Amino acid sequence: DTAVSQTPKYLVTQMGNDKSIKCEQNLGHDTMYWYKQDSKKFLKIMFSYNNKELIINETVPNRFSPKSPDKAHLNLHINSLELGDSAVYFCASSLSGGYYEQYFGPGTRLTVT
Considering only residues 19 through 38, tell me which ones interact with other proteins, judged by CB under 8 A.
31, 33, 35
Q: Which one of 22, 87, 102, 110 is in contact with other proteins (CB under 8 A)?
A: 102
- Distance CA(52)–CA(38), nearest Å, equals 29
Query: Does residue number 93 form part of the binding site for other proteins (CB under 8 A)?
Result: no
d(CA 15, CA 99): 38
Asked whether the beta carbons of 6 and 34 are under 8 A apart, the reply is no
- Closest contact distance (angstroms) between CB of 16 and other proteins is 28
Per CB under 8 A, residues contacting other proteins are 4, 31, 33, 35, 40-45, 48, 50, 55, 90, 92, 96-99, 101-107
